[in-house]
A = this chain, B = another copy of it.
């Protein structure tokens, strides 16, 4: 018997379906057979996911992008748009992105602007994309070294998640996604943090050899991915365009993490490594401000350490402290000119604004943030 879980969401009035299944989804499912009729479609992948895309959609016109964050540029978007034109897509055509976060973000951006918006299905093939990048409608690419400086809100009409595609995922990629999964579990409730913490060994040890254990671990993995994916979609449903504070909570670890990525040079760190380091910083900042209970911070940092994430400050790749502080100040989540931070609290997390939080304002706040990044604030 094959498990398939389908859940329908609505992001700002736009319907979005998430399908999680064992076994590769059938091409016909991905193409929306029986639901909508697309006169033409284009599959987008990168060199790593070309074989998955070809297996799922053997007759597809295929646009194969270069892999990695370096490819997350307008040039790649333009290749997708021109391939769509060559494949004869009209405004009623379908884009299918098969790949990790970069492919999903690029394909989704291209679909969102192609003739002012075509249909979009995503087949995330990395843990990061399954629990984060493919969900919730944020699309984008990098400009002048700033991650996702250009983008749109454009939820996929359908997201098809199959954890089987993770079997051959490199450890570094697995860890990158696992950090986002842990992040979501910190925001979640009812023991999700413990459940998510318990599957990290798959990353280190791979799946167990014995078939029953293997099956049980696979099911646990699928359940955790589903919980994280649905949690994120639920948050986005409440605040699709991040106008309120709800969606901003998903940025836990991202304010420090993005700044580290900028300072280290885009592509040097995996996104998840940066986020894990950022979560540790958010814990420290929360403790320093008296918002995060010490046992909570310790539990979080302990799991991050168990699975080999770098949690110490300064990060070994933090080459340029000035660039880090500038990136922190320019963070695009800022409101009214001042950055905002997401801080783990007893249950879940809290959004705080730099200028409204005692101890975080002005020169004192700058010194604290720098001190936390460089480990010299105590």
Residues of A at under 8 Å CB distance from B?
A: 13, 37, 39, 74, 78, 81-82, 85, 90-92, 112-117, 138-140, 143-144, 146, 148-153, 241, 330, 332-337
Contacts and interface: CB of A to CB of B under 8 A. Distances in A.
A92 B334 CA distance: 8
Contacts of A330: 90
Contacts of A78: 74, 143
B39 A90 contact: no
A85 B152 contact: no
Contact of A149 (B85, B148, B152, B337): B85
A305 to B, nearest CB: 33
22 contacts: A37-B336, A39-B337, A74-B74, A81-B143, A82-B143, A85-B144, A85-B146, A85-B149, A90-B332, A90-B337, A91-B332, A92-B335, A113-B113, A113-B151, A113-B152, A114-B149, A114-B150, A115-B148, A115-B149, A116-B138, A117-B241, A152-B152
A283 B185 CA distance: 62
Contacts of A92: 334-337
Nearest to A146: B85
A140 to B, nearest CB: 7
B143 A112 contact: no
A92 B340 CA distance: 13
A117 B152 contact: yes
A81 B149 contact: yes
A225 to B, nearest CB: 25
Contacts of A85: 143-144, 146, 149
A115 B149 CA distance: 5
Copies of this protein chain in the complex: 2
B150 A81 contact: yes
Nearest to A82: B144
A39 B74 contact: no
Contact of A113 (B146, B150, B332): B150
Contacts of A81: 143, 149-150
Most chain B CB within a 10 A radius of its CB, from A13, A140, A150, A335:
A150
A205 to B, nearest CB: 39
A353 to B, nearest CB: 12
Contact of A332 (B115, B335, B337): B115
Contact of A90 (B143, B148, B152, B334): B334
Contacts of A146: 85
Contacts of A148: 115-116
A13 B39 CA distance: 30
In this complex, the member of A82, A140, A152 whose beta carbon has the largest number of chain B beta carbons within 10 angstroms is A152
A236 to B, nearest CB: 13
B336 A151 contact: no
A296 B13 CA distance: 41
A241 B12 CA distance: 14
A78 B115 CA distance: 19
Contacts of A332: 90-91, 115
B39 A336 contact: yes
Contacts of A37: 336
A115 B331 CA distance: 10
A139 B190 CA distance: 45
A361 to B, nearest CB: 17
Given A39-B336, A39-B337, A82-B144, A153 B116 contact: yes
